[in-house]
Structure 1
Amino acid sequence: MTTVLETTGIPPPLESVAELTVPLCFFDIMWLPFHPIRRLIFYNHPCTEEEFSTAVVPNLKHSLSLTLKHYLPVAGNLLYPLDTDKSQALIRYVSGDTAPLTIAVSLRDFDEVTGSHARDSDQFYDFLPPMPPLVEEENYKIAPLIALQATLFPGRGICIGLSNHHCLGDARSVVGFVSAWAGTNKCGGDEHFKNGSTPPLFDRSVFGDMKGISDKLWSTMRNVPLTPSRFPVPTNRVRASFTLHQSDIKVLKDLVLSNKPGLVYISTFAVAAAHTWSAVVKSAAAAGEEVDEDGTEVILIPADGRGRPNALVDPPVPVNYFGNCLGGGAVTVEHKKLAAEEGFVAAAEAIADMIKNRVNNKENFLKDLDNWLSEMSKMVGLSTFGVSGSPKFDLSNADFGWGKARRLEVLSMDEEKYSMTLCNSPDSDGGLVVGTSLSEKRMEAFATIFEDGLKF
C-alpha cells in the first residue's frame, strides 16, 4: 500500500566545510548499543502526486541540503573502531557524505493512521526508511547516523519520517535540526539561519575535562558489538494517543495535593507521567498477565542538562549545544503500591521527589557520572518504564509550510519494554497528548484505567 519512488543522498552545499570530526563524550557513548530513535510527523496538506513530485519534493531536497550546511554531523557517520583497544568511536563528516532521503506514496487511510484510537503498530513502518547498512572501511565499522523519508497520502497529507542513532543527539538536538529544516523549507532559503537563529554548537569542550569519565565508560561499552538495526516487526502491538486537557491536569494535581498536602509543588509533567505509568502497571493484571506482586517498578525520567546549573559543568552547557546532554534519574516504587487504588498518588509523589532532589538540585544534577553505569546495571531484571519526548522540544511544532503537525508518533516505543511519549496537544487549551504502545488486550485495559482515573 506504500510505494517507494526513490531514495537519494542529499549532500550539504558544495561550499560547506570539507571535513568535521566530533569526538563522542560520556553522554554520547552510553547510547552506542541503543536502537535508533524513530519518529513520524504527520501533516494535513492535500496535494496531488504531480504537485508532490514537481514542487514539494524538490523543495524538501533543496532545504535539506541548505540545513545540512549548518548540521554537518547529521550527514556524517559513526566510526566504530575494529580495534577498540587503540581508539574510540567518533562522528565524522567528510565531503561527499550525504543524508539519505526516501520519497514514497501511500494509499493507506490518512485519517486512520493519524487517529487517536488503537491502531496496528506494524503499518507505521511503511512511512519510515530503514537505517543504511553498516560497512567496513580501513579500521572502522561505518554506521550512517540518520535516514529520512517523505510520504505522500494523495489529496490528504504528508508524513515526514526520521530514524537517527541516539549517539548523534538527544531530543533537543534532533528537534532543533528538523525544525531548522522545516523553517528553511517554509521560507524557501536559509533565511532561518541568516535572521539571527543561533547555529548549533558541536564543541565537546563545553563539558570541561571529562576524559577520565568518558574513558571509563568506553572501556565497558567497547565490549558491546555494534550491530545493524532492524525494524521490530511484527511488533504484536497497537499504539494509541490520549489527551490530557488542562482540566484533567488540574484534577490530577488536586488529587495529589489533597492526599499529600505537604508537597510544595507538583508539576504538569509529574502528574502526566505518574498517571500514565500507574495505569500501564495496573493494566497488566487487568489484561490477565502474570505480575510479580513483590516486584519493583521503575520509571526512567530524562532531563535536558543544557543551561541548567549542575555539579559537573560550570558554566552550564549552552542551550545550542548539539549532541547528547541528558541527566535525570530513576524512580522506584513497589509494584503492589503502584498497582493499588492510590497508585497514581504514590507515583506522583515519588516523581516529584526525584525532580526536586535531583533534577532541580544543582549539587545532585549530573552528580557521580562515573557510577551511572553501575547504577543502571541494577535495573536489569526490573520492570522499567520510559518517557520519550517533551512538550519543551515538540516536533509537532516543526512547520514545513504546511502548518502545525496533526500527529506525532514515536515508533521506538515498540522496541522497549513499555514507555510513553509526551507532546503538546494540538488543541488550544494547553493540554498534553500521551502516546503508548501495548499489546491489544493490554491497551484495552489501559484505556479504561486511564480514562477512569480522570473521573473525580
Structure 2
Amino acid sequence: MPSSPAMVTVISKCTVKAEPPPKLLANKKCHLTPWDLAMLSPQYIQKGHLFTNLPPTFSIDDIISNLKTSLSSTLHHFYPLAGRLATQHEVDNDGNITGTFVFIDCNNEGAEFVHADAQSISVEDVLAPFSDVPAFVQSFFPYDGATNHDGHCIPLVAVQLTVLADGVFLGCSFNHAVGDGTSFWHFFTTWAEICRSKNVNVFPSRPPIHDRCFLEGAKPPLKLPFTHESQFIERHYPPPLREKMFHFSSEAIAKLKAKANKECGTDKISSFQSLSALMWRCITRARRFPAEQVTSCRVAIQNRARLQPSQSPNYFGNSIYSLRITATAGELLENDFGWAAWVIHEGVVSHTNDAIRGMVKRWVEAPVVYKLSMFDNFSVVMGSSPRFDMYGCDFGWGKAVALRSGSANKSDGKVSSYPGWEGGGSVDLEVCLPAKSMATLEADPEFLAAVSPFVPLHVQTSQVI
C-alpha cells in the first residue's frame, strides 16, 4: 500500500474568484464576532469526500472545468470566502500599538483550486478498513499546518481534486475564523448543488445569512488586547498519533442510548451523548490514569438554536463553543456507563441562552484566542457532528463512498464524528491517539461490544451505481 505523501503530485493551481463579483457597499469590511476571533490560532477545517462513480463519458478536464465554474458561482453567494483577513492596529499618541482589530476584507481575491494526481493510490488504499488512516490522505488537502490567522496571506478556502487510480478525492480547507462546521457544510453542499445543476445562475436553496451576530456588549469592531500576532498565535505540532476510523451501526447507537437511559431511569439522554460517554470512558481507561486524575470530555456545541431569539441555521459564521465536562478517572470508571452519559447530558442542558450570553460578556471583558495546547492529554475532544448532511454533497457523480479529514487540529484524544455511509443514525468516528493508547482501546471489552464492522466497499459501490 502506498504510504508516502510523495505519491501525490500537484499538477496545477489556480485562483477562482466570485463571478459575478458581489455588489457590496463601499465598506467591504466584515467584522468578526467573539466566536470568530477566538478561532484565529487554530487551523483550517479540512474535510473531503472519496468518490468512485465518476461519469464514464466525462473527462477529468470536463470535471475540473465544471468544478471551477460552479465554485466561482458559489463564491458569489458566500463572498466573504473570496476575501482575505486584514488587521488594523490601535495606536496611542506616542505611536505605540495598544490593540488589534482583525476583520475580513471582502476584496474578491479569490479561492484556490488545486488539481493533483495520485494514480498509484486506489480507493481501497484510502479506505484501509482494517488499518489506520494512511498518512498520504493528509496530502489530499491544501494548507497543511496553516493557522486561521494565515488567512491574511493565503485564501480563506482552498479545494483540491486528487485523481486516484479508480476514483477521485475532493478535499476542502476552510478558514475556521470565517465559519464553523455548520457554515463549512452549508458552503460545501451549496457548491455541490450548483455543480450538479450545471447552471451557474441557479439560486441556492439555502442562501447564507451574512449579518454577523453581535450580542449585547459585543459591538463591532472588537479589539484584541495584543500588540503582535505572536502573543496569540500558536503553531501546533502534535506528537506522533495513530488515526483510525471506527463504525457504529444504527442498531449499536440505539443500544448505547437505551442502556444509558435505563441505567439513569430517564429518556432524556441522546444518542450522541451516549456515544460521547462511551469514548470518554474507553479512552480514559486506555490511558491508564490514576483514579484521582481529572479528565474532561469536550463537546463542540451549537449556539444557533439555543439563543433567544434563535439564529437561523443558515447563519454564516461561527456560533459554537467547546463545552468542557469534567470528572476524575475514578468517578468515570467506577460508576456505570449511564452515569457518564448523564454528566454529559447535564452539561449540554446547561448551555442555555443565558449561559451563552454570559460567556460572550466574559470574553469581551477578557478576550481569549483558543490554542490547541489548551486541550491537554487528559481530554477527549468530540468534534464535528453526524448531523451534518455530509453525504448529501452530490456533485453530479452520485454519493461519496467515504469521508476523511486532513491533519488540521489533530491532537491526542481528538474524536471527529461523521454520519455513517448507510445513514439511518449510524455514525463513523475518527479517533486520534498515541500508538499504545490506541492498541489498548482496540482491545477494550466495553468498546468492542459497541463498535460495528464497516460496510464492505463492493456493497457500497454496487448500491451507489
What's the TM-score, normalizing by structure 2?
A: 0.82
Q: In 2, are the aligned partners of 1:207 and 1:317 still within 8 Å (CA)?
A: no
Distance in 2 (CA, whole Å) between partners of 1:438 and 1:16 is 44
Gap regions ≥5 residues in structure 2: 1-6, 91-96, 452-465
Deviation, 1:411, is 2.8
Q: In 2, are the aligned partners of 1:36 and 1:229 still within 8 Å (CA)?
A: no
Distance in 1 (CA, whole Å) between partners of 2:393 and 2:55 is 19
Distance in 2 (CA, whole Å) between partners of 1:9 and 1:228 is 28
Deviation, 1:427, is 1.4
344, 347, 351: which is aligned to 1:354?
347
What SS does the corresponding residue of 2:439 show, helix, strand or coil?
Answer: helix
**2:180 partner amino acid:** D
**1:85 partner amino acid:** T
Distance in 1 (CA, whole Å) between partners of 2:256 and 2:367 is 35
What SS does the corresponding residue of 1:243 show, helix, strand or coil?
Answer: strand
Distance in 2 (CA, whole Å) between partners of 1:273 and 1:257 is 14
Question: 1:158: which partner in 2?
Answer: 168
Which region of structure 1 is more displaced relative to structure 2, 121-130 or 172-181? Answer: 121-130
Q: In 1, are the aligned partners of 2:20 and 2:73 still within 8 Å (CA)?
A: no
Distance in 1 (CA, whole Å) between partners of 2:280 and 2:35 is 26
Distance in 2 (CA, whole Å) between partners of 1:131 and 1:250 is 37
Question: 1:239: which partner in 2?
Answer: 243
Question: 1:273: which partner in 2?
Answer: 276
Work out the percentage of aligned pairs sharing the same amino acid.
21
Q: In 1, are the aligned partners of 2:158 and 2:174 still within 8 Å (CA)?
A: yes
Deviation, 1:171, is 0.5
Q: In 2, are the aligned partners of 1:133 and 1:228 still within 8 Å (CA)?
A: no
What SS does the corresponding residue of 2:98 show, helix, strand or coil?
Answer: coil
Question: 1:288: which partner in 2?
Answer: none
What SS does the corresponding residue of 1:265 show, helix, strand or coil?
Answer: coil
Deviation per CA, 1:303-355: give whole Å up to 9, x if none: 22224344xxxx32222211101146211111122244x46333211111112
RMSD: 3.3
Compared CA separation, residues 222 and 193, structure 1 to 2 (3 A): farther
Compared CA separation, residues 32 and 374, structure 1 to 2 (3 A): closer
Compared CA separation, residues 229 and 144, structure 1 to 2 (3 A): farther
Question: 2:384: which partner in 1?
Answer: 389
- Residues 55-74 of structure 1: matches in 2 within 5 Å? 55-74=62-81
316, 335, 338: which is aligned to 2:332?
338
Distance in 2 (CA, whole Å) between partners of 1:56 and 1:244 is 34
Distance in 2 (CA, whole Å) between partners of 1:82 and 1:121 is 43
- Residues 442-453 of structure 1: matches in 2 within 5 Å? 442-449=437-444, 451-453=447-449
Distance in 1 (CA, whole Å) between partners of 2:89 and 2:278 is 45
What SS does the corresponding residue of 1:101 show, helix, strand or coil?
Answer: strand
What SS does the corresponding residue of 1:88 show, helix, strand or coil?
Answer: strand
Count of residues in Structure 1 that have an aligned counterpart in Structure 2: 430
- Residues 139-288 of structure 1: matches in 2 within 5 Å? 142-154=153-165, 156-190=166-200, 192-193=202-203, 197-204=205-212, 206-211=213-218, 215=222, 218-219=224-225, 224-225=230-231, 236-261=240-265, 263-285=266-288
Distance in 2 (CA, whole Å) between partners of 1:148 and 1:125 is 13
Distance in 2 (CA, whole Å) between partners of 1:349 and 1:245 is 22
Question: 1:422: which partner in 2?
Answer: 417
- Residues 126-141 of structure 1: matches in 2 within 5 Å? 126-130=139-143
- Residues 426-445 of structure 1: matches in 2 within 5 Å? 426-445=421-440
Distance in 2 (CA, whole Å) between partners of 1:228 and 1:338 is 32
Q: In 1, are the aligned partners of 2:214 and 2:220 still within 8 Å (CA)?
A: no
Question: 1:370: which partner in 2?
Answer: 361
Deviation per CA, 1:32-80: give whole Å up to 9, x if none: 11122222221222468x9443211111111101111111111111113
Question: 1:297: which partner in 2?
Answer: 295
Compared CA separation, residues 220 and 265, structure 1 to 2 (3 A): farther
**2:347 partner amino acid:** M
Deviation, 1:112, is 2.2
What SS does the corresponding residue of 2:113 show, helix, strand or coil?
Answer: strand
**2:245 partner amino acid:** S
